[in-house]
Amino acid sequence: MSRVTVEDLFMDYDQAPVLERINIDVEPSTFCAIVGASGCGKSTFLRLLLSQERPSRGEILIDGEPVAEEPTPDRGIVFQRYSVFPHLTVTDNLVLASEFGRSAFLGRLFGSARRKARDDVADTLKSIGLWQARDRYPAQLSGGMQQRLAIAQALLMKPKVLLLDEPFGALDPGIRADMHEILMALWRETKMTVFMVTHDIREAFKLATRVLVFDKVRHDPDHPEAYGATITYDLPLDRNRAQVAALEAQIAETTGRTQ
Amino acid sequence: MSAVDQPVTKPAGGEAKTPRRRSSRRRLLNRRPSRAVSVSLALLPFALILGAYVVASSARLAENPFDPVTPSLTAMAETFWRMATEPDVRTGDLLLWTDTASSLIRLGAGVVISAAIALVMGIGIGLLPFFRSTFAPVVAAISLIPPITVLPILYITLGVGETAKIALIIFGIAPVMVRGVARAVSEIPEEQIVKAETLGASTWQIIMRVVLPQALPHLVNVTRLGLGPAWIFLVTAEAIVAESGLGYRIFLVRRYSAMDIILPYVAWITLIAYLIDLALRQFATRAFRWAYPSGRTL
């Protein structure tokens, strides 16, 4: 339930602009999908929201406060891969967050504290359908199970903003639809502000309440790196299906052309 | 069930139900030996080497029964047994066991200290940019110094006792092990580190719960790789100055061309090296089940 404001954001890598003039104001509890062609800075924008990188210019505010200079628990993240810890069982992956909070030196709980922490995540395990697999290692899970675990793990700290970087990009279409339902249920329940980067425009329009399209407005054919991308479409979806469908087709065409 | 349906599980050899002609139509790379054939094939080169030695040895001994260069297998076994069970006339020690203990203590100390250095430095260099800037270049530079060239320096500065020998092993293997662990740590996906940060972990907690557990299987691997060079440096140090040790004994009796001691000692060192490697491998697959889901390592 937090407002995210991005003010005049620029991002350069070694003088080459990647993002330029990004200005948005995202209402609390918005599900914001970010789409665009490959290499248009979608993932860079998400890394900036997470403070995994710092912008060259401009500012990102959560509830009016500038974000911390490094990743912090107020922003949860789910990556396409490598989000969960391979050396921990499913249960231990979820217990880890409370161990960090309560054991400063070892980051590990023992005895009754450990048993209690494990009991605390039992409901979460059941709700994401991983109760049967609770003692397995991530390598023994399917891709969909791993991403369910990653999402549950990201929500443990009750972040103000949830960031998703192509979270379902590596999954089969059928599993993807199941994941959409789980994600929507969690979003309705928590009312978090969500940013999701995706390649899949249909996924964006299916899930989001607002779609941001990143693209380069200026293009120099001799110097393709000369200009950065910015937000070319900013669509609050008012759920007028006909209108939305037309827009969706139009954007699919635009982003397809620039690819 | 034809052979084509189950190319992998079907045992090779004549007892198969399908005709031999069909099984031989499979590509060589798809044909696998059964367990028994596999063991026999593995033993074959050993048998050939042993056989070749026996032939050469008997040929030479037929010419001159006192030829020391190629002692018979029984002569070697007798000598080895004597060294293992009869006290030495001069010192009263059971030489084989004294030598083995001396060498293993030196080797163990050198390798354990190297592993500890590799773990601490490797995690620091692999994870912390300030640590990396400070120590990565110096570790890279030290790893390029040929270790044997510092042996005289070590003997001059540390004396000719145990310290210099252990120091040589550390000097020889620790830099490479540090770099191995550092590479493994730096290859932990950044996503995991960032995820831990968003779960509220401090740098120290990330080291303890994310980096260290994932570095340990690699530490075992670099230790296994370091053991080979560690033996070289141990034997070298013992060859130059020592009062006991497997390498010391080999180089001592070399003066008398006592191949009946040297050859069994070389085999004994090889056996110990193999058993240490096997133990480390078994330990890794049991202790780090998450890293070896199939239960196998190389």
For the segment A178-197, what is each residue's pLDDT rounded down to a tens digit?
Answer: 888 888 888 888 888 999 99
Distance (Å) from the C-alpha of residue B130 to the closest C-alpha of chain A?
17
A79 contact B CB<8A: yes
Residue where the block lists tokens 């990004």: A22
B194/A50 touch (CB, cutoff 8 Å), yes or no: yes
Q: In this complex, do A73 and B196 lie within 8 Å of one another by their Cβ atoms?
A: no
Is B294 touching A (CB cutoff 8 A)?
A: no
Residue of B198, B200, B293 lying closest to A140 (CB–CB): B293
Residue A37's pLDDT band, with cuts at 50, 70 and 90, is confident
pLDDT, tens only, A194-208: 999 998 888 888 888
Of B192, B204, B288, the CB nearest to A85: B192
Q: Give me the sheet containing A161-165, strands edge to edge.
A: A75-78, A161-165, A193-197, A31-36, A210-215, A230-236
Q: What is the average pLDDT across A206-226? A: 80
A71: helix, coil or strand? Answer: coil
Residues shown for chain A: 259
Within 8 A by CB and 6+ apart from B235, the residues are: B246, B247, B250, B269
Q: Do the Cβ atoms of B200 and A73 come within 8 Å? A: yes
Pairing assessment for the beta strands A65-66 and A57-62 based on DSSP bridges: antiparallel
Residue A21 parent element (H or E): strand A16-26
Chain-centroid distance, C-alpha B214: 22
ipTM of the complex: 0.87
Q: Tell which of A82, A95, A98, A108 to mutate to test the B interface (max B CBs under 10 Å).
A: A82
Q: Mean pLDDT in runs of 10 for chain B (298 residues)?
A: 45 50 77 93 95 93 88 92 89 90 96 97 96 95 93 92 94 95 95 93 94 96 96 94 92 90 94 96 91 69
* 3-class SS string, chain B: CCCCCCCCCCCCCCCCCCCHHHHCCCCHHHCCCCHHHHHHHHHHHHHHHHHHHHHHHHHHHHHCCCCCCCCCHHHHHHHHHHHHHCCCCCCCCCHHHHHHHHHHHHHHHHHHHHHHHHHHHHHHHHHCHHHHHHHHHHHHHHHHCCHHHHHHHHHHHHCCCHHHHHHHHHHHHHHHHHHHHHHHHHCCCHHHHHHHHHCCCCHHHHHHHHHHHHHHHHHHHHHHHHHHHHHHHHHHHHHHCCCCCHHHHHHHHHHHCCHHHHHHHHHHHHHHHHHHHHHHHHHHHHHCCCCCCCCCCC
User: Hey, are the CB atoms on B205 and A154 less than 8 Å from each other?
Assistant: no
Which residue, among A216, A220, A227, A230, has the nearest Cα to A17 in the 3D structure? A227
- CA distance, residue A107 to nearest chain B CA (Å): 5
The residues, any chain, with a CB within 8 Å of residue B172's CB and separated by 6 or more, are B147, B229, B230, B232, B233
Q: Would an 8 Å CB–CB cutoff place B5 in contact with chain A?
A: no
Give B-chain residues touching A99 at CB under 8 angstroms: 209
pLDDT at A21 over 90: no
B195 contacts in chain A (CB < 8 Å): 77, 79, 83-85, 150, 153-154
Residue A239 has a pLDDT of 59
CB B123 within 8 Å of CB B181: yes
DSSP-derived letter for residue A58 is E
CB contact under 8 A, B194 and A77: yes
Q: For residue B196, how many C-alpha atoms fall within 13 Å in the half-sphere facing its CB?
A: 24
Whole-number average pLDDT of chain A: 85
Class of B95-287 in CATH: mainly alpha
What is the pLDDT, as a whole number, of residue A259?
Answer: 43
CA of B213 vs chain A CAs: smallest distance (Å): 7
- Which residues of chain A lie closer than 8 angstroms to B291, CB-CB? 86-87
Residue A188 DSSP SS3: helix
In this structure, the strands spanning A210-215 and A193-197 are unpaired
Report yes or no: A56 and A12 within 8 Å, Cβ to Cβ.
Answer: yes
- Measured between alpha carbons, how far is A164 from A77 in angstroms, rounded to an integer? 6
Q: Chain A contact for B287, CB < 8 A? A: no
Q: Any CB–CB contact under 8 A between A76 and chain B?
A: yes
Residues of chain A found within 8 Å of residue B189, distances taken between Cβ atoms: 81-82
Give dist(CA B159, CA A3) in Å, integer. Answer: 70
pLDDT for position B210: 94
Helix (H, G, I), strand (E, B) or coil at A113: helix
Model's pTM, two decimal places?
A: 0.84
| One-letter identity of residue B268 | W
Q: How far apart are CA A11 and CA A214, in angstroms?
A: 14
Closest chain B C-alpha to A21 CA, distance in angstroms: 26
pLDDT of residue B292: 86
B87-98 pLDDT, tens digit per residue, is 988 888 899 999
Which one of B189, B205, B290 has the shortest CB-CB distance to A137? B290
Q: Which residue of A has its CA nearest to B187?
A: A82
How far apart, in whole angstroms, are the C-alpha atoms of residue B240 and residue B149?
13
| B209 in reach of chain A (CB within 8 A) | yes
Residue-level pLDDT at A240: 59
What is the C-alpha separation between B104 and B231, in angstroms, rounded?
10
- A213 neighbors A233 (Cβ within 8 angstroms): yes
Q: Tell whether the model's pLDDT for residue A39 goes beyond 90.
A: no
B window 170-189, beta carbon within 8 A of A: 189
Instruction: Output phi, psi for B133, to 5 deg.
Output: -60, -35
Instruction: Give yes or no for A88 touching B (CB within 8 A).
Output: yes
Query: Which residues of chain A does B197 touch, with a Cβ-Cβ cutoff of 8 Å?
Result: 70-72
Q: Whole-angstrom Cα distance, residue A104 to residue A83?
A: 22
Closest CA to B235 of B200, B266, B210, B197: B266
Contact flag A100-B290 (C-beta cutoff 8 Å): no
Q: Which CATH class is domain A4-74+159-258?
A: alpha beta
User: What residues does each domain of chain A span?
Assistant: 4-74+159-258, 87-158
CB contact under 8 A, A86 and B214: yes
Q: Show residues of chain B in contact with A72, CB under 8 Å.
A: 197-198, 200
**Yes or no, beta carbons of A87 and B293 under 8 Å apart:** no
Task: Please report the pLDDT score of residue B278 as a whole number.
Answer: 95
Which of A49, A75, A87 is the best substitution to test chain B (most B C-beta atoms within 10 A)?
A: A87
Contact between B131 and B185 under an 8 Å Cβ cutoff? The reply is: no
Distance CA B265, CA A85 (A): 46
Domain ranges of chain B: 95-287
Which of B199, B214, B290 has the CB atom closest to A96's CB atom? B199
The residue-averaged pLDDT of A43-49 equals 89
Measured CA to CA in angstroms, residue B203 lies from B12, B172, B200, B206, B208 at distances of 55, 31, 10, 5, 9
Structure letter (DSSP) for residue A167 = T
**Chain B residue closest in CA terms to A135:** B290
The DSSP-derived string for A190-254 is: H--EEEEE-S-HHHHHHH-SEEEEEE-SS--TT-TTSS-BEEEEEEE----HHHHHHHHHHHHHH
Q: For residue B248, give the nearest of B229, B259, B262 by alpha carbon.
A: B262
The first and second tokens of residue A254, run together, are 């635009």
Distance from B111 to chain A by nearest Cα, in Å? 26
Q: How far apart are CA A8 and CA A56, in angstroms?
A: 10
Instruction: Reply yes or no on whether the pLDDT at A104 is more than 90.
Output: no
As a whole number of angstroms, the distance between CA B156 and CA B152 comes to: 6
pLDDT at B6: 46
CA distance A165 to A35: 11
Token pair for residue A144? 């969909």
Q: How far apart are CA A9 and CA A67, in angstroms?
A: 13
Chain A CB contacts of B191 below 8 Å = 79, 81-83
